[in-house]
Structure 1
Amino acid sequence: MRRRDALRSMGALFAAAGLSKVGAVELRSVPHETALSKEMLPSPVMSGGQGNVFKGQARATLTAVFDRLIPHDELGASASEAGCVDFLDAQMNGPYGESKDLYLDRPLRADESELMGLTISLRTRRDYMLAGLEFLDSHARKQHSRAFAELAGEQMDTILVAMEEGHLDWEGAGSGSRLFEFLLMSVREGYFADPLYGGNRNMVGWKLVGFPGARYDYRQYIDRRGQNLGLEPISLIPVN
């Protein structure tokens, strides 16, 4: 798997053709009345994750998967170098990982899930991810007598491709491809999210596609479509 394939669809959303450079003057202050108090400032996710949901072998497996999907190469940092593992760890430690937005109780009638055409899972995303990583590691040990993170790159790719193509289901038809899609979605989110959330460390993802970040005001650039403004990306992380 190549980084270009993994990032292609996301990069297309951000990239713009560079026609000419201009000496843009940046706005470096905001109206005083719109300033946040210190109590309202967000706390960035630090290196190592927020809640350490992924520990030991689970973290090693996740790191190996992410670095196969977005490897270190001539285009830039790998997924783990960019903090994608820390990003997902923090996500899984909060309401998203606890699936607070989903209905996790059993249907009132046994046949309701079939009538609605839904697959109802009683697990949180956190438990789903941990179970999926455990399956990956277990499968690698059965096939190669080694943990997934200890396999050669080509062996990892063979397992991941089998999952992507639906040949490696672990809890019912289509479960393998759904797990692969979730992992791919998560690593993309981590690579392009604001560094506040733990990923996109040093804004490597934004620099890769030329995204200028969370800027207060774009009015001075509104008539410069298609031009390379040479702007350094800005994060939501508070600056003292």
Structure 2
Amino acid sequence: MRRRDALRSLGALVAAAGLTKVSATELKAVPHETGLNPEMLPVPVMAGGQDKVFTGTTRATLSAIYDRLIPHDELGPSATEAGCMDFIESQMAGPYGDSKDVYLEQPLQDDESELMALAIDLRNRRDYYLAGLAFVEEQAKQRHGASFADLDGEQMDRLLNDLEVGRLEWEGKGSGSRFFEMLLQNVREGYFADPLYGGNRDMVGWKLVGFPGARYDYRPYIHRNGQNLGLEPISLIPVS
């Protein structure tokens, strides 16, 4: 998969956002006691500094998948070079990986069990990811007698394409394509999220699409829709 294919829908969203008219009201008389408390400042994800959710073969498989979805090319670094593994490690080790935002209990009423089974998965995202990656690794060994990370690019792409279009249904109809979409969503998030979260190292994703970052005030530029502002991206990472 070419980088422009993986990022095409995101580019459309950025273009649409450039057409949006912005209006804002200035907030005045903010109480002084609401000033920033150093203890409340966000803590950036440090490269290699988070709990390891993906290790050994599982880590190699995910790294290889990410770098097929967003490869190193003339446009910029690959997903792993941009820190996407640090991003997903941090996410999966925390509330996102625990699926704290999702109902994961058993159905409460027997007569609704069939309907509820379609709506919930009694695993968190971390376990879902690990199970899906194990399936991809299994398929690689069945097809080629080698781990996914050791396949050549064409072999990887054929396997991932089969996963994307639903020819590899590891947990029933639609399961393969759903897992592929989650992988693609997460690698995009890692490539374009604020570097605070571990990915988008050196703001390579923002530079690729011309996003100026987390600047305090864009009012001087509101009238310049669709123009290259020539602004260096700024991260949310606190600067002392």
Percent of aligned pairs sharing the same letter: 70
One-letter identity of the residue aligned with 1:133 = L
Q: Aligned residue for 1:214?
A: 214
Q: In the aligned structure 2, how far is the partner of 1:56 from the partner of 1:32?
A: 51
Deviations 1:133-179 (A, max 9, x none): 11111111111111101100100001000000100011111111110
One-letter identity of the residue aligned with 2:140 = A
* TM-align CA RMSD: 2.1
SS at match of 2:233: coil
Q: Aligned residue for 2:168?
A: 168
Q: Which aligned pairs between 1:24-173 and structure 2 lie closer than 5 A?
A: 33=32, 35-48=35-48, 50-115=50-115, 118-173=118-173
SS at match of 1:196: helix
Deviations 1:73-127 (A, max 9, x none): 0010100011111111111111111011111111123441433582421110000
SS at match of 1:54: coil
Q: Aligned residue for 2:235?
A: 235
Q: In the aligned structure 1, how far is the partner of 2:161 from the partner of 2:170?
A: 14
TM-score with structure 2 length normalisation?
Answer: 0.89
Q: In the aligned structure 1, how far is the partner of 2:49 from the partner of 2:126?
A: 14
Larger relative contact order, structure 1 or 2 (CA cutoff 8 Å, min sep 6): 1
One-letter identity of the residue aligned with 1:226 = G
Q: In the aligned structure 1, how far is the partner of 2:84 from the partner of 2:189?
A: 8
- Are the aligned partners of 2:51 and 2:90 in contact in 1 as well (CA < 8 Å)? yes
Deviations 1:42-61 (A, max 9, x none): 11111125221111111111
Between stretches 103-112 and 62-71, larger displacement belongs to 103-112
C-alpha distance 169-229 of structure 1, shift in aligned 2 (>3 A): same
One-letter identity of the residue aligned with 1:56 = G
Aligned length: 228
Which runs of 5 or more structure 1 residues have no equivalent in the other structure?
19-30
TM-score with structure 1 length normalisation?
Answer: 0.89
Please list every run of at least 4 consecutive aligned residues from structure 1 whose deviation after the TM superposition is greater than 4 angstroms: 31-35
Between stretches 130-139 and 115-124, larger displacement belongs to 115-124
Q: In the aligned structure 2, how far is the partner of 1:110 from the partner of 1:177?
A: 29
C-alpha distance 165-39 of structure 1, shift in aligned 2 (>3 A): same
